[in-house]
Structure 1
Amino acid sequence: MTPPHTMTVLGIVIGGTLALTWAVLGFWACAFVALFMLIGGLVGRVVDGRLDVTALVDAFRGKRSSS
């Protein structure tokens, strides 16, 4: 488990990155960067084994799980 201050620093870095992207390149570039940050986070969770892809796909399909 990561220390709480590490997550705070990560949040500051992510917020700063998005703010600079918006200021320098505009809204759509910022949205594009944010989308790929989200995708990268999801891929990282799958690789770490902290996200079950089949459960995620089932959730998007509207299937309920009993577990």
Structure 2
Amino acid sequence: MSATVTGIAIGAALAFAALAYGFWGFILVALFVAIGALVGRIVSGKTDVSGLVDALRGRRSSS
């Protein structure tokens, strides 16, 4: 699945959530989509967890 098709699917899901559940439902679905994307990147090895934790703690890394 290409990035364009994935973006369209996510946009459609968020639009449906906004129409069906209102603003807070939209926010909740968007949060779950973001968490799912992050977990997917961690599992596939595209995101370094220790680097992410260091960035959230305010530590900088040069690597």
For the superposition of Structure 1 and Structure 2, which TM-score range results when normalised by the shorter chain? Answer: over 0.9
Q: Percent identity?
A: 56
Higher relative contact order (CA 8 A, sep 6+): 2
Contiguous gaps of at least 5 residues in structure 2: none
Point out 4+ residue stretches in structure 1 off by more than 4 angstroms. none
Contiguous gaps of at least 5 residues in structure 1: none
Letter in 2 for 1:42: L
TM-score normalised to the size of structure 1? Answer: 0.88
TM-score normalised to the size of structure 2? Answer: 0.93
Computed over aligned residues only, the root mean square deviation of the Cα atoms, in angstroms, reads 1.1
Q: Encode CA deviations 1:35-57: one digit per residue, 9 max, x unaligned.
A: 01100110011100110010001
What is residue 37 of structure 2 aligned with on the other side? 41
Query: What SS does structure 2 have at the residue aligned with 1:51?
Result: coil
What is residue 15 of structure 2 aligned with on the other side? 19
Pick the aligned partner of 1:60 from 52, 56, 59.
Answer: 56
